[in-house]
Chain A
Amino acid sequence: MGRGLGPVWVIAEQGECDVETVSLQLLGKARELADELGVACEAVLPGRNLEESARKLIAAGADRVFLADNPALEFYQPETYSDIICALARQEAPEIILAGSTFMGRELAPLVAARLATGLAAHCTGLSLDENKNLEQQIPAYGGLLSIICPEKRPQMATAARGVFKTPEPDSGRKGEIVRIPVPETAEARVRTLEVVRETLASIQIEEARVIIAGGAGACSPEGWGTIQELAKTMDAALGCTRPAVDEGWAPLDSMIGQSGKMVNPEVYLAVGISGEQQHMAGITGAKLMVAINNDPASPVFQQVDLGVVENCQEFLPVLIDKIKAHRQKKLTCQP
């Protein structure tokens, strides 16, 4: 007698003091997929002191949570974590494994996929089941949307960033099972995380921001970037960017918006020197007002925004900044 379909899994991640939001969001999606397939929805969580996080995963939709709870796993350890997940996956034969596009997920998911000799779709912006019950993994590319499937191999693996899926409403009454799994001894680990250190973040968190100014290749010069920073400061906006701005070294990686960066949901989004590539635009959802400043009137960005200004940003921004400052001053004096 053949075995039925395996469960849908989420590789959950313990953050500094709580389970990562993306893990709960993926669990919400995993629950939907599991219900459609008629299988269980399960999470694997390695780390330390995980009892409370496990309960949150159950409240978010998990039928079962495998806990590898051990002081040695306080920090992400690539070899032990992938050993645990691969061994358990061989035993439980999940149909699907989802992981967050976090620093951990981006390292761990490809390791696990290679070791399980299966496929993996990176930084998906949508997940659904096709008519053959294969996981259809949406990825923006070539100005369109690709659907990727993994028809032969199992598990089907995918990562997605925080914000791609909604955080499910927690149901504290949900029943689920917590299964503690043994942690293998890895005395001879070839790589060992000694500590994770938080660096002070002065800027506004981009995922929480109401207003985002984003700069791209068209603004990539030291002066150009300085002006964009000033505009963001003037408007109390968070500063985001596209990949070229990171590659050029103007902006930090954690401010990159898009499919392989942060997913954002601002009220107002203002693109400066951005061409409107899908990989970037896929990272912005739900903005009420989208504005682009670009010197090329034919730029595709103008088909994806509500307001456009065709100007060289180096010339336009200083004028705009002055006018915003003057406007604010005027408001301050007339409407205290």
Chain B
Amino acid sequence: MASSDGATEWVGPQIAAFLNIAVVTMVRKIEKRESNEWIAVSDWQNGYRRVQIRLPALLTVTRELNRPRALSFSGILKARKKEIEQWDLNDLGIPEEAVGAKGSPTVVSQMATIEKRRDVEILRGNLEEKADKLVSRLDEAGII
């Protein structure tokens, strides 16, 4: 769903821009047409859009895209033996000042607590009584 980026949903499009490849966000379905051409269906206001894509492209996807296959025992065992390759900034040739807080054009200038506090009234009694009280309060509010 979007990306693990504090729900800004921007990691996908920005990586695509840095790599200079095409991007389609919120893809729920993708189908191959010709060797290099794909059709994606992605979420849009009040519905969806159909997009034609030539690879290479970066897609961000929603959970509707795919159902992960079940894990097999032998697969789990094999996975334990696989090597996990880790890249650091040196491997990628990225200067330290280009990433993290130093590389960010935006900075946090202030932090404040939010005073959205309301004085709560907790409804007391047993479950039935609480439900009765809530019904009467919803009635007072004119919504049931």
Contacts and interface: CB of A to CB of B under 8 A. Distances in A.
B123 A308 contact: yes
B105 to A, nearest CB: 3
A323 B24 contact: no
B61 interface: no
Contacts of A146: 108, 110-111
Interface in A183-236: 190-199, 201, 210-211, 235
Q: Is the interface of A mostly helix, strand, loop or mixed?
A: mixed
Nearest to A153: B105
A306 B120 contact: yes
B118 A78 contact: no
A147 B109 contact: yes
Contacts of A113: 10, 14
Interface stretch (A3-11, A28-36, A41-49, A243-251): A243-251
Interface residues on B, range: 35 or more
A103 B45 contact: yes
A197 B49 contact: yes
A173 interface: no
Interface of B: 1, 6-10, 12-14, 16-18, 21-26, 39, 42-54, 57, 62-63, 104-114, 116-123, 127-128, 130-132, 134-135, 137-139, 141, 143-144
Given A109-B10, A114-B18, 16 more contacts: A106-B9, A108-B13, A110-B8, A114-B13, A143-B114, A194-B39, A195-B49, A198-B46, A198-B47, A199-B48, A268-B138, A306-B119, A308-B122, A311-B130, A319-B127, A324-B144
The 10 A-B residue pairs with the shortest CB-CB distance, nearest first, are: A119-B105, A114-B17, A122-B8, A119-B106, A110-B10, A190-B22, A147-B110, A110-B13, A191-B22, A199-B47
